Amino acid sequence: MEAARREAPALLVDAGDALFHAPVLGAADEPAAARARLLLSAMGRMGYAALAVGERELALGPGWLAREAASAGVPLLSLNLAGRDGVHPFPGTRVVEVGGERVGLLAAAAAGEYPGGLVASDPVAAVRGAAAALRESGATLVVALLHMPDGEARALVREVPEVDAAVLAHDARRIEAVPAGATLVTAAGERGRGLGILTLWPDTKGAWGDAGAPRKAEAELASIRRSIDIARRRAERATREEDRRVLRELAATQERRAREAEARTKVKPTGRLYDGRLLPLTPAVGDDPALLAEQQAVLQRYGPPPGPPDPDLTGVE
């Protein structure tokens, strides 16, 4: 993140389900609490602008979450979570200055009951009102952190076009930035295994245009050319005429795809420009020494968290 901020103004957010492996834990689960504090410490050091509250943030209760997040310097957001008494334990919005833009942040969860005796009301109504209020307060961009299933989130933003971009969580899916109506939606996946990077050009106007389309077309073209080369080499080695025919047809089909991809590499994107990428956080990315030391101390005391092994880290020392 430090390198990213040196290149351009950057905003770091999380749409929830970041802290615990289960939505409800016992108050005496100190290993889980220690791991959650480690995550909050990392978020605070990296300067997170907001963490949306999902069910897995509430495993030790809203009071514990509020205290520990405040201690780590991590702003919590949730528009529509409230106690049975109607009291909202977390703020719903905040405005931050990023690169000369006033970015309005809001967060909402899927309607229903949550740990700690909280209930989430209709997120559509909550987001619609908050987005309008943020615009009226001078926000030039509105970013929603939506903790709900993908389909529900996409339906929501189609009803609330005032939202410019939405970061999703809950389904544990990776979603490269894509327009849903007037809103860009994206998700980085689960278990901190990836960083979603969404770049916006606020001075551009019109319908969303993918500034990374030529780069993606170049990557697709390279992949197609590799498959053409493989098909041709296999055709040369094939002993049956039928096999040679199938492989030649495959190569011809891929050659047509290659011409189409090459044409897309030369198209200049227009409109309101964005570029979305997903960066896998493998060991090749490197570690922050201070955070790594904290992590190792927690692992040495409490051991690894429960759950299946991370396939991205299998066999990595």
Residues whose CB is less than 8 angstroms from the CB of residue 252 and which lie 6 or more positions away in sequence, other chains included: none
Q: State the burial class of residue 76 (Cβ atoms within 10 Å of its Cβ: 0-12, 13-18, 19+).
A: buried
CB 79 within 8 A of CB 93: yes
CB 54 within 8 A of CB 48: no
CB 251 within 8 A of CB 234: no
Q: Look at residues 202, 221, 316, 235 and name the one whose alpha carbon lies nearest to residue 267.
A: 221
Q: Are residues 138 and 43 in the same domain?
A: yes
Q: Are residues 170 and 251 in the same domain?
A: no
Residue 4 pLDDT exceeds 80? no
Confidence of residue 266 (pLDDT cuts 50, 70, 90): very high
Q: Look at residues 73, 32, 59 and name the one whose alpha carbon lies nearest to residue 298.
A: 32
Confidence of residue 260 (pLDDT cuts 50, 70, 90): very high
For residue 102, the one-letter residue type is R
Q: Are residues 130 and 232 in the same domain?
A: no
CB 80 within 8 A of CB 122: yes
CB 110 within 8 A of CB 23: no
Distances (CA, A) of 279 to 78, 188, 195: 27, 8, 5
Q: What is the pLDDT of residues 25-58, one digit of tens each?
A: 776 688 889 999 999 999 999 999 999 999 999 9
Q: Are residues 38 and 88 in the same domain?
A: yes
Spatial distance between the Cα atoms of 220 and 85, rounded to a whole number of angstroms:
54
Spatial distance between the Cα atoms of 56 and 108, rounded to a whole number of angstroms:
14
User: Which CATH number characterizes residue 146's domain?
Assistant: 3.60.21.10
Q: What is the pLDDT of residues 119-130, one digit of tens each?
A: 999 999 999 999
Q: Work out the mean pLDDT of the chain and round it to a whole number.
A: 90
Provide the pLDDT for residue 27. Answer: 66
Residue span of the structural domain in which 250 resides:
213-264
Provide the pLDDT for residue 313. Answer: 40
Q: Are residues 13 and 160 in the same domain?
A: yes
CB 70 within 8 A of CB 89: no
Spatial distance between the Cα atoms of 108 and 126, rounded to a whole number of angstroms:
8
Domain assignment present for residue 205? The answer is no
Cα 230 to its chain centre, rounded Å, is 35
Spatial distance between the Cα atoms of 161 and 268, rounded to a whole number of angstroms:
26
User: Domain count of the chain?
Assistant: 2
Provide the pLDDT for residue 307. Answer: 65
Domain assignment present for residue 178? The answer is yes
Q: Are residues 294 and 153 in the same domain?
A: yes
Q: Are residues 168 and 26 in the same domain?
A: yes
CB 167 within 8 A of CB 145: yes
Confidence of residue 195 (pLDDT cuts 50, 70, 90): confident
Tell me the CB-side half-sphere exposure of residue 307, using CA atoms within 13 A.
11
Q: Are residues 240 and 164 in the same domain?
A: no
- CA dihedral sign, ordered 201, 144, 52, 210: negative
